[in-house]
Structure 1
């Protein structure tokens, strides 16, 4: 790993970061009287009107394209990010060290926090402006986000981004301003803009065996207050005849990252597509040639304003993507293609992100799907969120002994090598967007697993800078803790203990690159505890890393395994899937309930103003005592309280903790004095807010 400057993965580094972030720092960038600054302007013709957005500036060794490597584990870049508001062609925006990140804006850098600490030397510098669109969703929340445009929601330089030219500069170490001009816009030749939904979810031309569909989602469009689309890439089996009304096929729904213009399973080997299209598996595995399994292969396209896909569930931040895919898109596919529209013939598969989506799809929709074959899924149980003991730790970045919690690893000759820590990844993500808008991994988990904060953005489970975990925010993740969801609904009306028995197949390697084996082990432990050993079919292969097919099988062996499950559980199979396990009463993740639990109205209900009581027994000699409550605020909001007498602050403001009980004994108040408690809350991504308690007239 090549990093310049400060590495933010130690206790000392995090303490330094926390200490250098004043609460009352500037809300937006301003000129610096010393040190290094970057002044940004927009050339004529590249911006119509004004826009909010996020600017990322990258410094890389001279002669290197900053976009050549932007990965947290290997990039030589220095990254600096900043929110901008109301930017127009005539605007000049200055990124400077005095504008350190705070409540709503400022600059954040990685791996160097401050521009002032950029070492002297020669660099190639480039800036990118991601434009945000402000929307008001149907639950009343208003936010500004970037809507991807058939490009898989990249964290930087996405469709429509403004860019500067790569500029070579010499940083002297003395006060200096680097001037950059946004004079280009990231475009694509893939879309004409005349297709349904324009470039949303992409538009691709069909081939004989690879078909593309896209529909406008009514439920998503209603939620987002704008047209929203979902799509799918569909690979037809050999011999598929649209005019043959008798023959129908089971479907594998392959989950995963942005599918672009490739169909599912068209990438494992160079000759896979040829064999699939010909309908014959070559006998190069020691067996004779044999026919390919006759199935339709589907890959969803559902890039979201938060990531390259929505995680295929209903969530308070993404909206009803689960309903859009499963209640709108799948019926469309069933209507236009020769599918078998029965649960036993619908199988969910996927790895990593797709691994979580595939098992969640069956857990939440056992009425729709028969089984999942989930490989190295994201955290199935938040007792281990990757390597973070999320329910018990106080910090997401540090173990109890003060060492850094790792996030990405490799093994060299059997020895574990840490490539990145949780702190490093989260700090890197901050350079691409605040309020979980980076379109990167930790932020999308915040948006999918969590609920909305009062500001309309995801209620983050920890402080992105210090790593301090907010237990109250973590508790809202439990509805997406799949082990907890199953155990909680084991033998109630959902009856998941019987409904899901034998339908969940999960594989992971013990050397998973992202420690995802730990969440699988926790899931196995919790479900075995109530269902008996093997209730879910768990395979943990020793020393296997992240990647590959289910159980590390060769592709044809894998597909034949899935096909055999379908045959065995069909009406004429050896173990038909019982009708009583695919009933609608077991359906979960209801969007109405999701919003009631975690939408904007739920966020409003979490709040309460400060309040005071007392003052009834004043003896005129200083014996009055008032009790105060700071009210209820979102987790992570830092509070400062002030006692106020007749509208005037008394004494100094003081820091308070949420839930802390306060008391006040006035010494100078007169009989006609009114006593109040004012509490100010501050949090990254929130506008500073002061709430005032009820007033009580002093009685003497």
Structure 2
């Protein structure tokens, strides 16, 4: 069972809630914590000869840690002592010197963004251990026609800094002083794949760990993913076999638990082999407690998927417009491969989805989108199942993701001390922290991957972000596209149509969360429960909400063996010889959803092109008082800032002016412009986009 990836740093450190609230409402200089600043700080980073072959696009990240502290020791948003700064680089070659500086000319797309201080000029004087990284991007053109530059992980679980292939400087001790100062660093090394017992196992080769007697590894090249990304792409799985498993005895077949979650860095599966559970599993017996005798362990195959991807350490296991057909790769390619090579029971009742947190959402979505393939899900503390509460954000009704209407900050991570909630980080803090590691949702961190999974493509090829990453302003049109991944909305929208989810999924969804969930995920579970219960009654889905339970642990807080016996009991009950067999009526192919063709039709590059429109001018309305021409600014992606300019006979007429998206304009010509040719030019600008000017049709002023 996995925790959210953002908790991979050191232990959490409490931050005063009052300080967080005041910081989150700051716009561009968000989260600055220091009054003393050093104007004119500049970083110059050279590259050792021969280290870089050709040119590269990517993200430079510089970490300022307290003197004597390894900058990578703790980069977590809740606890890191580091000052972190990032900047995009384009076409960098080995002879270049990369320069990062502060000042007021900051631009999110090409300039330096820092956390917790936005500008390098806000680094306080003192002694630091400084290290820089260049995370390289690969530019690809996907099969839907979109072109973008992203980092492809390679057996490292897609870390947000210092991933495989990154250029790295040595840790340098630096004293920051008052006044202008230049700090020189040098990229002199490249991060390589860590040594495994076998060859590397990442998404960039067919290699695997070495098998053991009970732990097997598979990896396949996915045709669906490779076709979409225009390069070789792989998915894999770690497979734990039950005690007594005999590959040659095909008459003995076993149900399978498919466990979803983050990159399994230890090479194991479901806590195996790194726990006491392993010895019990291998022995095939569950030790008795309180004098009770040992009992036979349920015989199942345990599978943990490996599907690190661009944008995150896993793909979320569904088909998405931004990450690609990972649902098809796992369900239609990898699982058939597993079933062809291991003695599984290839029936829906014997395929079980489980997971926690990220894996909780994935396991629920896998069943909800593929009830024809899987029998049931046991999903613990899942990511937002209903976007009426995306963590603590009322996403459909809010105007800002960072600040409530009363001005208080929206929290994101919390703890409880003696029953009192302590906020550890706000939504603003997390998003600003992520922005140091990557623009256009490329940080490989939590909020950004939600943009990639739940959202559609922007016209720039990257995820269409639901809000302004700096200010928190929500773009309602972008949020509307998320409804396809709102699992409650998806179920209700397909309740009694050809997918018939009202009957198909009845009593097959098991959800668990605690009221003290660290990330407020209980709120989305409550919204989900209310929505499906209103449609199907209180017992349509099995939802367990335990008081004062935090994020983590097994389903319903059970021990591992207790949970496995619960799952095995469900399988036995719903087998063809069980008391409540899973009917073929509820596993019909017609219930399948989230097809990749459907995803691309509403969210892919062609859909992004189709929703654009140029400005238009209507034929003028004339009367005795004169003529008036009506115009629209066209359609643009949410968040694009527009500037309009009238032109007469191809030349600007009057001053350019700012205009809101969706605005209607009017133009009243002067008498001297009779028989002139009128047009409207509109220029759009947005972080992560190339500035674009669109011209309207032309009309003649008569």
Contact 2:385/2:525, CA 8 A, preserved across alignment: yes
Q: 1:692 aligns with which of 660, 671, 695?
A: 695
SS at match of 2:527: helix
Contact 1:52/1:144, CA 8 A, preserved across alignment: yes
Aligned in 2, Cα 1:103/1:440: closer, same or farther, shift over 3 Å?
closer
Aligned in 2, Cα 1:569/1:194: closer, same or farther, shift over 3 Å?
closer
Distance 2:106 2:386 in 1: 33
Aligned position for 1:96: 101
Aligned position for 2:44: 39
Contact 1:53/1:84, CA 8 A, preserved across alignment: yes
Aligned position for 2:680: 677
Report deviation, 1:226: 0.5
Name stretches of at least 5 consecutive residues in structure 2 with no aligned partner.
Answer: 1-12, 33-37
Contact 1:100/1:114, CA 8 A, preserved across alignment: no
Aligned in 2, Cα 1:19/1:628: closer, same or farther, shift over 3 Å?
farther
How is 1:143-542 mapped onto 2 (pairs within 5 angstroms)? 143-190=148-195, 199-200=204-205, 203-266=208-271, 270-284=275-289, 286-542=291-547
Distance 1:256 1:19 in 2: 31
Q: 1:57 aligns with which of 62, 68, 82?
A: 62
Contact 1:281/1:292, CA 8 A, preserved across alignment: yes
Report deviation, 1:527: 0.3
Report deviation, 1:208: 0.3
TM-score (norm 2): 0.94
Contact 1:149/1:201, CA 8 A, preserved across alignment: no
SS at match of 1:37: strand
Distance 1:11 1:639 in 2: 29
Report deviation, 1:264: 2.0
Report deviation, 1:17: 3.9
How is 1:616-635 mapped onto 2 (pairs within 5 angstroms)? 617=622, 623-635=626-638
Aligned in 2, Cα 1:2/1:562: closer, same or farther, shift over 3 Å?
closer
Aligned position for 1:25: none
- Does structure 1 residue 639 correspond to structure 2 residue 618? no
Where do 4+ consecutive residues of structure 1 move more than 6 Å? 191-198
TM-score (norm 1): 0.95
Distance 1:163 1:669 in 2: 65
Name stretches of at least 5 consecutive residues in structure 1 with no aligned partner.
Answer: 21-32
Aligned position for 2:133: 128
Aligned in 2, Cα 1:641/1:42: closer, same or farther, shift over 3 Å?
same
Contact 1:349/1:373, CA 8 A, preserved across alignment: yes
Q: Please give the per-residue CA displacement for 1:530-570, whole angstroms capped at 9, x wherever unaligned.
A: 10112100000000000000000011100000000000100
Q: Please give the per-residue CA displacement for 1:165-194, whole angstroms capped at 9, x wherever unaligned.
A: 111111112011111110011112436998
SS at match of 1:508: strand
Q: Please give the per-residue CA displacement for 1:444-500, whole angstroms capped at 9, x wherever unaligned.
A: 000000000000000000000000000000000000000000000001111000000
Distance 2:197 2:521 in 1: 41
Report deviation, 1:268: 9.3
- Does structure 1 residue 10 correspond to structure 2 residue 22? yes
- Does structure 1 residue 67 correspond to structure 2 residue 72? yes
Aligned in 2, Cα 1:556/1:641: closer, same or farther, shift over 3 Å?
same
Q: Please give the per-residue CA displacement for 1:554-600, whole angstroms capped at 9, x wherever unaligned.
A: 11100000000000100111110011000000000010010011000
Aligned in 2, Cα 1:179/1:216: closer, same or farther, shift over 3 Å?
same
SS at match of 2:337: helix
Aligned position for 2:8: none
Distance 2:74 2:230 in 1: 36
Distance 2:198 2:566 in 1: 42
Contact 1:153/1:303, CA 8 A, preserved across alignment: yes
Q: 1:48 aligns with which of 40, 50, 53?
A: 53
Contact 1:233/1:261, CA 8 A, preserved across alignment: no
Distance 1:2 1:112 in 2: 19
- Does structure 1 residue 567 correspond to structure 2 residue 579? no
Distance 1:194 1:426 in 2: 36
Distance 1:232 1:669 in 2: 74
Report deviation, 1:79: 0.7
Report deviation, 1:626: 1.5
Report deviation, 1:616: 5.4
